[in-house]
Every structure is written in C-alpha cells, then in structure tokens.
Structure 1
C-alpha cells in the first residue's frame, strides 16, 4: 500500500509544475503583463471550483476524523480562518488585480477547451459515480502534494512575485499559502503539507483493492496530461518574448 501512494507521489513529481515551460518562464522573471493577466483568467475557472470538488469527496468519506480534515481544508479555502488570511480565491483575485485583471474579466473568464477538460475531469472524479479516491489522487493530492515550485536558483512563486515582479503584499498573499513559501521553508506551506498528508491517509485507507488503486493511478495520469495541456495553452496563446517583461508600478 505504501508503494502505491509512493507511486502517486512519483507521478506528480515527474510532471510537477516546474516541468512546464509556463512556470519556468514565470519563475525566471520573464513573464509579460499579458502572460500573467491571462494566467489568472485561465486558471480562475479551475480554482473557483476547487472547494466544490473537495465537498464532493468529503460527502462520501465515512470516517469522521478524515472527513473533518477535508472540512477544515474547505473552511480554510473559503474563509482563511485557520491561517488568518482571506478567502483563498479572493487572494487569487487580488493577485489578478495586481497584474491588471478586472473583476468583470474574472466574472466572464473564458473557458477554452483545455480549461474545460480540466474542470470536467475534476467534476467527474469528485462529484459523480466515480469512486471518490480517484478525486483524492487526481485533484486533492495533485494540488496539495505538489513539489515545491522553485527554480534552480532557489526562487519560489512567492519570492519572484514579491522581489522580481514587485507586487505589493496584497498582490502576492495568495502565494504565501500556495506553492509558496521562501526557499528556506522548502517553498511549500504548512497548510499544503497538512492537506497532502490527509490525502495520503485517505488513499491508504480507502484504496483497498487492486481495482481502486489502478483507478486512482489512471485518474492521476489523466489529470496530469490535461493540466499540462492547459499550461501549454496559456503559454502558447499569451506569451510573446518580444513584449516587455512585467514589473509592477504603483
């Protein structure tokens, strides 16, 4: 069983976000305003559905203690009450505002085929007849168990948004709890560690047949492929290296 969960972690590590040219471009400080602007717009439909996906998983977890861990995850995401921050989706909107995204643009964010495919996968594995462990592996663990988004020089999403792109504190707060802290803290927040640990425990507890374990592996493989197609679409449609790099101005 431990080998099964280790295999899921290996799969995530092999296609972690830093294997995407999109994230490497952002971490290198080369992102343009248009790239960061469209990054927010295209990520928004996926992020805005996050807690509803986790609710779908939680509703089918019989164990009270494990269900509470998921409820705490949802509560933190929706309120920021455990970390003393704001609602996490609102802090992502604040990041968007810092790179020029308006509230009206978020309200009418485009859902292109690559984005729709990710949303549809997440709904299917979390909120339909698929066994909920497929959602735990390919949505919860994939997001919360993501290896540090750190470049070879030690820059994290938080540090590059703050120190390179020059965002104000409100603009980079989202990254304090997501993919996230500075190099000295391994660029992963304590919240992410806790949520990933809960996902692994759920998988060890409930993926108790070869069929369920294979279902979780297949769902994760599908999610990784769809997510990287989504990342590639953002870079392909929103990035021109001839445009000036973004630097925030007050």
Structure 2
C-alpha cells in the first residue's frame, strides 16, 4: 500500500494518461475545413445514452457513501444534475437535448437511438460498479474520477465545446451542457480523488481503484472507436474520417 497523497496522484496520473480526445474521431469532428455534421450527430446521440444514466450513478454513490462530508457533496451534485439551478441553467439531460436539437437531431430521432455495443459496455460497467456497495471505491473511481474527468480534456488548449462552436457555428447557449460540466467537473474530479484516496485502506483496494479509472477511460475510448467504425461502415466513401485508421 502506498501513502494516501502519492496514491491520489497516481489516480490523477492514470486519468491523464488516458486522453480520449486523442482518438481519430475528434480529428474528423474538429476539422475546420471539413465539418462532419453526420458524424457529430452520431457521436452526440451515443453521448446522450450516457447522459440518461448519469444521475443514476450519482444517486447510488450518494446512497452508499460512508463519509458524511462527501455524501453532502454528492447530494449537491445530484441537485445540480436534476435542476441546473446552481449553474443557472437547466436539468442536465435537458441541456443535452438542447444540444441535439441545435445540431439538427429531432426528438423522435433522439428517442429512437439505441446504444452501440461499446456504449452499452461503458454504461453497464459503471452501473454494476456503483450498485456494489462492497466495492464502493471502484464505483467512485469509475464515475467521479474517470467519467467526470472526461469533461476536463482539451485539444490544443481549447475545450471540445469551444472547438465545436468554431467548426459548426454553434451558439454559447447550444453548448451549455459541455461548458457547465467543464466548469463543475474540476471540483467533482478533485472530490473523487480525495474520496477514493481516503476509502482505499489496503493495497488491494488501491489497485482496484486504479484499474477502475484505467478501465473506464478505455471503455470511453472504445465507445468512440465503435462510433467511428460504424460511421465508416455506413459511409465507406469517407475513408479519411479520422486520419488514423
């Protein structure tokens, strides 16, 4: 077992070694010379599958949380997810729906979408993790560190929503789902790092938490890979989709 502060930095290091913005799909999505709206829609529709489940993860983490200070922080997180009042915006699922409408996805198209296999794998891994109170540290690592950490990534110093705005001409109000999460998740990830580093009192628990962060990030990468390949299959004439495969 390693000291708590060292372990906390190990968790942070594993998160930052798994940068999903490095996937070729983002080269295709963020090319200012060749905006790819069909690919953006496909990616956003799969992202919506994740958004629908996120409050469920946080609810389980709140319910089972053994440390009162962190339990209160999770309660605040739930309140914001459900109401958007702390960020003066809206329910976070509604924010994602607004983004989908802004890029031309109809409500019926949104509701008809189903998760791809890799998206389901990511959803189910986190659901299983947070439902197992005997491995609370695993669920907290997967959701509070690896998942919330996805919103902190930047490409060439800019957040993905800032790049989407430039490439697709989207208004600031269209991108509130992303800007709100980028601002809030700095604190959420730090809470996750502090919570998990306190919870892990054995070397085995530390190893399990480190694996959960790494594995969750890899599942995110796998989801983007699945979307990327599925769109290449649907549009074989766009072989230059991502410049890496």
Same fold (TM over 0.5): yes
Q: CA RMSD in A?
A: 2.1
Please say if 1:216 is aligned against 2:216: no
Offset at residue 129 of structure 1 (A): 4.6
Q: 1:144 to 1:226 in 2, by over 3 A?
A: closer
Q: 1:43 to 1:65 in 2, by over 3 A?
A: same
| Stretches of 4+ aligned residues off by more than 6 angstroms | none
Contact 1:122 1:135 in 2 (8 A): yes
CA offset digits 1:24-58 (Å, max 9, x no partner): 33233344111111111111121110111111111
Higher mean displacement: 123-132 or 201-210: 123-132
Offset at residue 170 of structure 1 (A): 3.0
Aligned length: 233
1:83-98 equivalences under 5 Å are 83-98=87-102
Please say if 1:133 is aligned against 2:128: no
1:141-180 equivalences under 5 Å are 141-146=145-150, 148-152=152-156, 154-179=157-182
1:10-159 equivalences under 5 Å are 10-29=13-32, 30-146=34-150, 148-152=152-156, 154-159=157-162
Offset at residue 101 of structure 1 (A): 1.3
2-side partners of 1:68 and 1:20: how far apart? 36
Structure with the higher fraction of residues in helix conformation: 2
Please say if 1:5 is aligned against 2:8: yes
1-side partners of 2:29 and 2:73: how far apart? 32
Higher mean displacement: 72-81 or 127-136: 127-136
2-side partners of 1:20 and 1:86: how far apart? 30
Please say if 1:197 is aligned against 2:197: no
TM-score (norm 1): 0.85
CA offset digits 1:159-214 (Å, max 9, x no partner): 222233111333222121234xxxxxxxxx2x112111211121122111112111
| Gaps in structure 1 of 5+ consecutive residues | 180-188, 246-250
Contact 1:27 1:155 in 2 (8 A): no
SS at match of 1:170: helix
TM-score (norm 2): 0.87
2-side partners of 1:150 and 1:222: how far apart? 21
1-side partners of 2:72 and 2:61: how far apart? 12
2-side partners of 1:164 and 1:112: how far apart? 26
